[in-house]
Chains A and B, each alone.
Chain A
Amino acid sequence: MSSSARSSRKKPKVGLFVTCLIDAMRPSAGMAALTLLEAAGCEVIVPESQSCCGQPAWNSGDKAAARAVAIPYLDSFDDCDYVVVPSGSCAGMLAHHLVELFEDAPDLRHRQQALAIAAKSHELTSFLVDVLGVTSVPGQIKGRVAYHDSCSSLREMKVKDQPRQLLKAAGAQVVDLDQADTCCGFGGTFSVKYGDISGAMVDGKAQDVEAQHPDLLVAGDMGCLMNIAGRLSRRGSPIAVRHVAEVLAGEMTAPPIGAGSINSDTNGSDKK
């Protein structure tokens, strides 16, 4: 590490917050995020002390449980310049809710660490564009690509143009959904606690996606992706679904999310 540390002194040091869903459900998206950050000239570490950001407990109104989940990673990013998250929703948790979660924590250090993490946390595509000024990406893609805005990306992290710019830089023809700023109905535990409502919402989203006839649907949040891909699959739609990082990094060897291996060549790049 010492030799590379010298050569990378000017490199921004980024801690990647992988998110529990990507770790468990879609490792390719995490690896793609790593590729993108390294291609943009960052030194990246991935602390083993992370599991989940704590959002499921926080949003359930269980502060104690949320703190228990967050404490292990609180000091893991101390020597990072930035914390980057390939999810708008988990980035929102770190950047906007962690401080409130720990504002009356008995251990003062936890309050300070929460403040420090909040100040340097970014959603992946907005970090690339807004912080690093990235204008080109390793990936290349042709065809119609629909980008789904997750609510937390859009409203908490102010992510809107950044992923679209990068997709265009990769060669995509980016198409917008009619109801682009309407929630897909995932909402974490909401999707199983209120399956009727969630099902109605995701059906609306799936129809909105289908209406644009994209070759590929991408988003920056695994929760939305699992939700929409699941509904598209149920509707028998041929539209492929991927995490935006996979497309931007050009790492599309894994089959699309929820697509059978039969379609594993359906990566959206060569479809007419």
Chain B
Amino acid sequence: MEVSSQKFNDHVHQAVDDANLKGAMGKLTGALRPNRARAVAGLPEFDDYRDHGIAIKMHTLDHIDRYLEEFETNVVANGGHVHWCADEDSARETILGLCRQYDVKTVTKGKSMVTEELGLNAFLDQHGILPLETDLGEYIIQLRGESPSHIIAPATHLQRHDIAQTFRDAHDHLDPNRPMDTAESLTEEARQELREKYGAADAGITGANFMIAETGSTIIVTNEGNGDLTQTLAKTHIVVASMEKILPTMDDAGVMLRLLARSATGQDMSVYTTLSSGPRRPGDLDGPDSFHVVIVDNGRSTMLAGSEREMLRCLRCSACLNHCPVYASIGGHAYGWVYSGPMGKVLTPSLVGLEQTKDLPNASTFCGKCQEVCPMRIPLPKLMRNLRAKQTEQKITPLKQRVLLALWSSLASRPRFYRFVTGMMTGALARMAGPKRVFTWLPFLGNWVQSRDFVAPEGGSFFDRYRASSSPSSSKGEAHD
């Protein structure tokens, strides 16, 4: 997918004035946050699961080569195939090659963020293969020609009336006056539309929440069951997964699944947890004729060796997005690539480079809420700070900012002189403010005063007052005891 993170500030400017988006983002505070809180409170050992989960992930990352090889061995033993792809080009070509090999004209797709990374839908389309998204949210944004605005709920930026309008436009064979005012009616309509297409598809492409080394299985979780149909009805099942989705054992997946659903939607378990362990065997009631796993690196091995390694623990649960006040203010599209919210601010620069993504790690107050709710306790603010440090080192930080910071630091490293200068400035401001004691406009602070007043300094400095109060003529003693 093309990166537009360079235009972050333009995106933001539009997003903060978008009343419809603001309404749509209400579901974060209205549902997602309280739901997670309730689910976590309902499992007193949640934090123990977190520690366990982190230990599993760290161990797995330390031995990722070994577990990936074990996974391949077991996939092959089950009758499947594994394809290793270093970058997005090779992943796209591999998938296209498989489609050609099986004479695929239509694919159904389960929701998969890594295929968004690859821009797979557009690529397949260009090559005459029709991709049909089956996840409700993905289906909606595919109809609208948009990209996902959230890693598990791709249509989070929309309200119900937007979706109804999208369906009225797209499903023009249906009665234009049908009622579409409930979530159920929308879901049911999408389901009817989609069901017909499952049978027609030649291949099903899904992502994977986990790949299990010991069994050679892949696991996806959904709430709609679309993943099941995608992979069992088509003749060929292609799983596309980024390499860090590997876990050693099925027990490990058990730990992660407990964390994932609670962190994501506040459910104890997702409605469907679907395992795929190779093609249909003799006697199986269903399943694909062939089973392929495309393992995508696309920058992960570099991360593994670098300072963003901890980001590879990510389960893609979306808790950090749901709880992020910046995400809630601007929505997911502003981030300009597949991943959004705090995890996107770390992952996107790590995967596509620092140059195009300058603003992402900077647009954070470091409030720390993301780290607090992350089931993998990924230190997202620290990782963003690391990226800022890299920007400074590589002189990607804008010159103006570097100069201002250098001036400020040379001043602040001489405390007495610093206070002399700030004292003059605040003294002048305090006098200028007059009785109102706020400024509605100030030069250099345009971005501040556009939305709030700048409060005037009280007048004088602390150190002036302190010195006056502790001078011999004052009643207080020097030691202030």
Show the binding face of A for B, using Cβ within 8 Å.
1, 4-5, 7-8, 11, 18, 20, 22-28, 30-31, 34, 38, 42-46, 48-52, 54, 56-63, 65-66, 68-69, 71-73, 151-152, 155-156, 179, 181-183, 185-188, 190-204, 226-227, 229-231, 233-234, 254-255, 257-262
A73 to B445 Cα, complex, angstroms: 29
B313 to chain A, nearest CB (A): 20
A31 / chain B contacts, CB cutoff of 8 Å: 462, 465-466, 469
Q: Which of B344-385 contact A (CB under 8 A)?
A: 359, 362-369, 371-372, 385
B389 / chain A contacts, CB cutoff of 8 Å: 61-63
Sample of 6 further A-B pairs with CB below 8 A, known A1-B479, A43-B481, A191-B447: A25-B455, A27-B464, A43-B479, A57-B409, A151-B365, A200-B16
* Chain B residues touching A, range: 35 or more
B326 / chain A contacts, CB cutoff of 8 Å: 197, 201
A45, A190, A233: the one within 8 Å of B452 (CB): A233
B412 lies within 8 A of A52 (CB): yes
A7, A38, A51: the one within 8 Å of B412 (CB): A51
B437 lies within 8 A of A61 (CB): no
Show the binding face of B for A, using Cβ within 8 Å.
9, 12-13, 16, 29, 325-326, 329-330, 359, 362-369, 371-372, 385-392, 397, 401-402, 405-406, 408-410, 412-416, 418-419, 422-423, 425-426, 435-438, 440, 445-448, 450-458, 460-466, 469, 477-481
- With known contacts A156-B368, A230-B454, A66–B409 Cβ distance under 8 A: yes
A187 / chain B contacts, CB cutoff of 8 Å: 364-367
A58 to B390 Cα, complex, angstroms: 12
B416 / chain A contacts, CB cutoff of 8 Å: 48
B422 lies within 8 A of A62 (CB): no
B397 lies within 8 A of A61 (CB): yes
B444 to chain A, nearest CB (A): 8
A18, A48, A195, A201: the one within 8 Å of B446 (CB): A195
B435 lies within 8 A of A198 (CB): no
Closest to B327 in A: A197
A62 lies within 8 A of B466 (CB): no
Q: Which 9 A-B pairs have the closest CB atoms?
A: A187-B365, A195-B447, A199-B451, A61-B388, A258-B455, A230-B452, A183-B367, A65-B409, A61-B389
A185 / chain B contacts, CB cutoff of 8 Å: 325, 365
Closest to A188 in B: B365
B462 lies within 8 A of A22 (CB): yes
The residue in A42, A60, A182, A183 that gathers the most chain B C-beta atoms within 10 A of its C-beta is A60
Closest to B404 in A: A189
- With known contacts A185-B325, A199-B452, A61–B479 Cβ distance under 8 A: no
A-B contact pairs, 9 of them (CB 8 A): A7-B481, A18-B462, A22-B462, A61-B385, A155-B368, A231-B451, A258-B456, A260-B436, A260-B438
B324 to chain A, nearest CB (A): 9
A191 to B446 Cα, complex, angstroms: 11
B437 lies within 8 A of A24 (CB): no
Closest to B324 in A: A183
B465 / chain A contacts, CB cutoff of 8 Å: 27, 30-31
B405 / chain A contacts, CB cutoff of 8 Å: 56-57, 60, 62, 65
- With known contacts A34-B480, A69-B413, A260-B436, A46–B16 Cβ distance under 8 A: no
B372 lies within 8 A of A231 (CB): no
B458 / chain A contacts, CB cutoff of 8 Å: 25-28, 254-255
A183 / chain B contacts, CB cutoff of 8 Å: 325, 365, 367, 369
A58, A72, A260: the one within 8 Å of B415 (CB): A72
Interface of B is mostly: helix
A61 lies within 8 A of B454 (CB): no
A233 to B452 Cα, complex, angstroms: 7
- With known contacts A155-B372, A201-B325, A61–B447 Cβ distance under 8 A: no
B422 lies within 8 A of A260 (CB): no
A233 lies within 8 A of B453 (CB): yes
A27 lies within 8 A of B385 (CB): no
B422 lies within 8 A of A20 (CB): yes
A204 / chain B contacts, CB cutoff of 8 Å: 325, 329
A185 to B330 Cα, complex, angstroms: 13
A57 to B21 Cα, complex, angstroms: 34
The residue in B364, B437, B445 that gathers the most chain A C-beta atoms within 10 A of its C-beta is B437
Closest to A241 in B: B455
A98 to B66 Cα, complex, angstroms: 38
B16, B330, B369: the one within 8 Å of A181 (CB): B369
A186 to B447 Cα, complex, angstroms: 12
B12, B29, B450, B457: the one within 8 Å of A179 (CB): B29
B363 lies within 8 A of A197 (CB): yes
A59 lies within 8 A of B385 (CB): yes
A152 to B477 Cα, complex, angstroms: 34
B448 lies within 8 A of A62 (CB): no
B397 / chain A contacts, CB cutoff of 8 Å: 60-61
A49 to B417 Cα, complex, angstroms: 11
A51 lies within 8 A of B479 (CB): no
A13 to B197 Cα, complex, angstroms: 76
A18 / chain B contacts, CB cutoff of 8 Å: 462-463
B130 to chain A, nearest CB (A): 39
A116 to B168 Cα, complex, angstroms: 66
A1 to B480 Cα, complex, angstroms: 10
The residue in A1, A48, A198 that gathers the most chain B C-beta atoms within 10 A of its C-beta is A198
B437 lies within 8 A of A258 (CB): yes
- With known contacts A185-B325, A187-B365, A262–B435 Cβ distance under 8 A: yes
B12, B408, B452, B469: the one within 8 Å of A56 (CB): B408
A61, A155, A234: the one within 8 Å of B453 (CB): A234
A73 to B415 Cα, complex, angstroms: 9
A262 to chain B, nearest CB (A): 6
A11 to chain B, nearest CB (A): 6
A30 / chain B contacts, CB cutoff of 8 Å: 462, 465-466
